[in-house]
């Protein structure tokens, strides 16, 4: 036997032993697939006290892991290996996961608290009849701006960001659909446009925004805007709510041309082991008091109409984050554009980022 073969054999044996020991340890503590729930969610996207409450009420042990993008989550789910009972993808990712056979249908009869979800957020294009997903949070995509730093300027439109006086004053989130979509919307095109001429036009316009962009960043946008490192940030409404709570000079607006109306929904991956527990968890999170507690902790908008009754009025009456239907009806949900077109969006975004250097 060669050294390489012996090495691989040793690795296999050690891996098997570790898996066996982990299984035995979990079993000795009473944790099996039937009373362990594996939840895969975005970072800082649930009140930890609710996990403890769920464990106490059900006797299940929750193993909670996080991801930082839909793409990373989908890759891990599709590769298998790690079993998750619940995950929380965004709308276009749900559509893609459905198409690839990665989701199990949800039994609505096991989720009586589904009755509390606002009908506006049910039966949407990415999952008709909510066969595979249940609303968790929703929101918009727009502009945070510092009223003190921009003086008498008024921010109401995507096109306001191209003002030469805003040189080196804008933070953008690091997302292809978001940034290319911003360029498309500024030209009054759809967020889901696949017309090559329109996409190139949007990319060329974004190149003209380069002098105004200070950085393209991730979660740190909250701290940097709150600390007035730049006057403007393009981000999601939930992030905006957090930022505004840290600095009274900040405000948030959804641009006149339109923007993204996004949804993150709970789903059950096809490889789930604790399907019964997954339904219990979904129903638990839809309990109005639990949903209210979660929305207050996370800062994003809850789709749970009954939960609003348990939340502070200053939150639920703030139309920047709980807008009237007139606004939401003119916003767009991201469609699953298919692997080829999504790759094209990513390529255009990469070219735009390279153009800044």
Helix (H, G, I), strand (E, B) or coil at 260: strand
Residue 81 — very low, low, confident or very high, per pLDDT cuts 50/70/90? confident
pLDDT at 355: 80
pLDDT (mean) for 46-59: 98
- Report the percent of the chain where pLDDT is more than 90: 79
**What is the rounded average pLDDT for all residues in the chain?**
90
Residue 33 — very low, low, confident or very high, per pLDDT cuts 50/70/90? low
Q: Do domains 24-132+264-324 and 139-260+332-355 have the same CATH topology?
A: yes
User: pLDDT tens-digit profile of 167-205?
Assistant: 999 999 998 999 999 999 999 999 999 999 999 999 999
What DSSP letter does each residue of 18-56 carry, written as one string?
A: HHHHHHHHHHHTT--TTTEEEEEEETT-S-HHHHHHHHH
pLDDT at 219: 82
* Interstrand relation of 134-146 and 261-266 (parallel, antiparallel or unpaired): antiparallel
User: pLDDT tens-digit profile of 199-232?
Assistant: 999 999 999 999 999 999 988 999 999 999 999 9
pLDDT at 2: 44
Helices 275-286 and 48-58, axial angle in degrees (round to 10): 120
CATH fold for the domain made of 139-260+332-355: D-Maltodextrin-Binding Protein; domain 2 (3.40.190)
* Interstrand relation of 61-67 and 36-42 (parallel, antiparallel or unpaired): parallel
The class that CATH gives domain 24-132+264-324 is alpha beta
User: pLDDT tens-digit profile of 329-342?
Assistant: 889 999 989 889 98
Listed by start position, the domains of the chain span 24-132+264-324, 139-260+332-355
Residue 357 — very low, low, confident or very high, per pLDDT cuts 50/70/90? low
pLDDT at 34: 66
pLDDT at 250: 97
* Residue listed under structure tokens 């009274």: 248
Contact (CB, 8 A) for 267 and 97: yes
């Amino acid at each position: 036997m060669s050294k390489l073969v012996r090495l691989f054999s040793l690795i296999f044996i050690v891996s098997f032993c570790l898996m066996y020991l982990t299984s035995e340890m979990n079993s000795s503590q009473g944790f099996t697939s039937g009373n362990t729930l594996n939840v895969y969610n975005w970072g800082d996207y649930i009140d930890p006290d609710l996990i403890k409450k769920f464990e106490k009420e059900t006797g299940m042990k929750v193993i909670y892991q996080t991801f930082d993008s839909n793409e990373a989550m989908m890759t891990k789910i599709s590769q298998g290996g790690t079993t998750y009972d619940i995950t929380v993808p965004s709308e276009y990712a749900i559509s893609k996961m459905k198409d690839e056979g990665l989701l199990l249908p949800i039994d609505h009869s096991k989720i009586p608290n589904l009755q509390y979800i606002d009908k506006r957020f049910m039966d949407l294009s990415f999952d008709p009849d909510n066969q595979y997903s249940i609303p968790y949070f929703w929101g918009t995509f727009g502009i945070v701006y510092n009223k003190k730093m921009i003086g008498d300027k008024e921010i109401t439109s995507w096109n306001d960001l191209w003002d030469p006086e805003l040189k080196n004053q804008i933070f953008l989130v690091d997302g292809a659909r978001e940034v290319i979509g911003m360029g498309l919307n500024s030209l009054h095109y759809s967020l889901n446009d696949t017309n090559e001429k329109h996409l190139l036009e949007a990319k060329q316009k974004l190149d003209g925004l380069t002098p105004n962009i200070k950085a393209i960043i991730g979660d740190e946008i909250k701290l940097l805007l709150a600390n007035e490192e730049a006057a403007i940030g393009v981000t999601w409404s939930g992030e905006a709510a957090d930022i505004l709570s840290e600095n009274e000079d900040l405000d948030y607006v959804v641009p006149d041309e339109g923007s993204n109306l996004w949804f993150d929904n709970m789903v059950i991956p096809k490889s789930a082991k604790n399907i019964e527990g997954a339904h219990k968890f979904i129903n638990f999170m839809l309990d109005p008091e639990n949903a209210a507690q979660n929305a207050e902790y996370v800062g994003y908008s809850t789709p749970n109409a009954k939960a609003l009754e348990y939340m502070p009025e200053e939150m639920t009456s703030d139309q920047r984050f709980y807008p009237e239907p007139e606004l939401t009806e003119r916003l767009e949900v991201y469609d699953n554009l298919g692997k080829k077109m999504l790759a094209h969006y990513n390529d255009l975004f990469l070219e735009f980022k390279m153009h800044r250097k």
